């Protein structure tokens, strides 16, 4: 479920709550995650300290002492919750807990993912850059190398719909289905437009909207559209700020025109036919 803002919110919560703690034990579930088989690496992380929690695109990087790092991707339905010894399961079905790390203060980190599209693996920090999934990623959307010039260059000659271009992690890393619709509303561009046909002025508006929308979502601690919860079991606050996503038939907040829903690249997309051309 999570896109960049949800992962970044998780990162910052975890960095404050578990950095400095030592992993004293845990367990890895029997069912493998679908995208990457998770071997039982509890013995390898036991006794190591969590130095910091970082992020690259939608990947969470839990850096451990001794040069190891736990790479986690939440897929469509994953979450990582930080629970104390007496806390419940945060409403998550324990049968989808795939990993649990016990910390030296009696709390634990739990990776839960019903659909098992996520990734959880342990690697050497030094070999992180060789990880295929990470090395293919485009620039961070909140970084200085994601610019209108860059986006214009990537859009040039491309027939793919602009919304698909924004969701292509090799172009820019972190935009997912919800925020792509929100970004294009703010930029005033229909999601179906072929990338090569998007004008320079529109590209500039999109390049500006990307960090704006993602930044505001991070401030709101992400979006809870259905049931996503952060590491404390709390929903994100950005859901109330979604202006088009999930609002088919509702009036556009800017002009009152009914919001439309179309499928672009197999994904539901929402737009205002008047505000977006």
Partner DNA sequence: CAGATAACCTGCGTGC
Partner DNA sequence: TGCACGCAGGTTATCT
Please give the residue ranges that form the binding site for DNA (CB under 7 A): 1-3, 6, 31, 34-35, 57-58, 73, 75-77, 93, 95-96, 114-117, 132-133, 136, 158-161, 164, 167, 169, 176-178, 222-228, 236, 265-268
Shortest distance, position 49 Cβ to DNA, whole Å? 28
Tell me, yes or no, if 267 is annotated catalytic: yes
Give the closest residue to 190 by CA, choosing from 243, 257, 262, 267: 262
Catalytic residue among 3, 63, 100, 182: 3
Beta bridge partners of 259: none
**CB hemisphere CA count around 85 (13 angstroms):** 4
- Of 36 and 49, the one with the shorter C-beta distance to DNA is 36
- Of 57 and 207, the one with the shorter C-beta distance to DNA is 57
- Of 51 and 113, the one with the shorter C-beta distance to DNA is 113
Tell me, yes or no, if 2 is annotated catalytic: yes
Distances (CA, A) of 102 to 14, 48, 68, 186: 14, 11, 17, 43
Tell me, yes or no, if 159 is annotated catalytic: no
Shortest distance, position 55 Cβ to DNA, whole Å? 12
How many other C-beta atoms lie within 10 A of the C-beta of residue 207?
A: 21
Distance, in Å, from the CA atom of 120 to the CA atom of 272, rounded to the nearest integer, reads: 38
Catalytic residue among 58, 193, 205, 247: 58
DSSP letters for 35-89 = SS-----HHHHTT-BEEEEEEETTEEEEEETTTEEEEEE-TTT-EEEEE-TT---
Catalytic residue among 49, 52, 237, 267: 267
Shortest distance, position 223 Cβ to DNA, whole Å? 4
Catalytic residues, by residue number, are: 2-3, 58, 267
């Amino acid at each position: 479920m999570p896109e960049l803002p949800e992962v970044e919110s998780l990162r910052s919560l975890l960095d404050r709550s578990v950095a400095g703690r030592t992993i004293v034990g845990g367990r890895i579930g029997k069912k493998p995650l679908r995208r990457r088989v998770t071997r039982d690496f509890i013995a390898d992380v036991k006794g190591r300290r969590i130095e910091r929690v970082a992020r690259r695109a939608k990947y969470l990087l839990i850096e451990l002492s001794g040069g190891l790092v736990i790479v986690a991707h939440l897929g469509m339905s994953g979450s990582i919750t930080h629970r104390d010894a007496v806390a419940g399961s945060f409403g998550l079905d324990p049968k989808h807990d795939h990993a649990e790390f016990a910390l030296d203060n009696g709390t634990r980190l739990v990776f839960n993912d019903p659909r098992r599209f996520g990734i959880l693996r342990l690697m050497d920090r030094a070999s992180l850059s060789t990880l295929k999934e990470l090395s293919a990623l485009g620039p961070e959307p909140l970084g200085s190398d994601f610019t209108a010039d860059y986006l214009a260059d990537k859009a040039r000659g491309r027939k793919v719909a602009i919304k698909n271009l924004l969701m292509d992690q090799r172009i820019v890393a972190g935009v997912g289905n919800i925020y792509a619709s929100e970004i294009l509303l703010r930029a005033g561009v229909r999601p179906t437009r072929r990338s090569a046909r998007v004008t320079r002025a529109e590209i500039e508006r999109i390049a500006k909207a990307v960090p704006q929308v993602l930044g505001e979502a991070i401030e709101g601690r992400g979006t809870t559209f259905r049931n996503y919860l952060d590491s404390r079991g709390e929903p994100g606050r950005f859901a109330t700020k979604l202006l088009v996503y999930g609002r088919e038939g509702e009036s556009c907040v800017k002009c009152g025109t009914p919001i439309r829903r179309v499928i672009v690249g197999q994904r539901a997309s929402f737009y205002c036919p008047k505000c977006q051309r």
